[in-house]
Copies of this chain bind each other. A is one copy, B any other.
């Protein structure tokens, strides 16, 4: 369900086709909520069925035609309703494969487990770099969105929030690195293991 609201939310900035929507997903909410292209097309169809969006064909000579989706008044209303209704219990993100592996880590040898932790650290370090990079991206894409809207909104509110989201991602990520390094140190120094 949330994916539909994610799409509606992005469409509330500007009308777009599915393909462009996917690219916007990639450079904005990608590390919050992912969607494959086929899923986006499916959900756009569903949204159109509900009357939350309207589509129109934009012809192009050199490239395939675009199907542009525009959010309707009902769509705007449904989106705002969702945004306002804070759930009683919001679904905390679960299903963390690495943690599942750690949980059963005693079945592995000490060296093997440490190696897995190191790989994890490697991935997190890469993510750290990507996140610092994506902060610049955010400013870029906000600017790009503003241009495409051609109404020059203040945008300061979005900038503030998006920087907060990025900050959260960076700091949890760094915490994970520190935690994993601690784990490695603890595993190496203990003789209870193996």
Contacts and interface: CB of A to CB of B under 8 A. Distances in A.
Q: Which 5 A-B pairs have the closest CB atoms?
A: A106-B157, A156-B192, A32-B99, A9-B104, A93-B93
A6 B31 CA distance: 25
Interface in A99-147: 99-108, 112, 115-116, 119-120, 123, 127
Copy tally for this chain in the complex stands at: 2
Contacts of A100: 2, 5-6, 9, 29, 32-33
B160 A90 contact: no
A137 B165 CA distance: 33
Interface in A1-57: 2, 5-6, 9, 12, 28-29, 31-34
A72 to B, nearest CB: 16
A103 B165 contact: yes
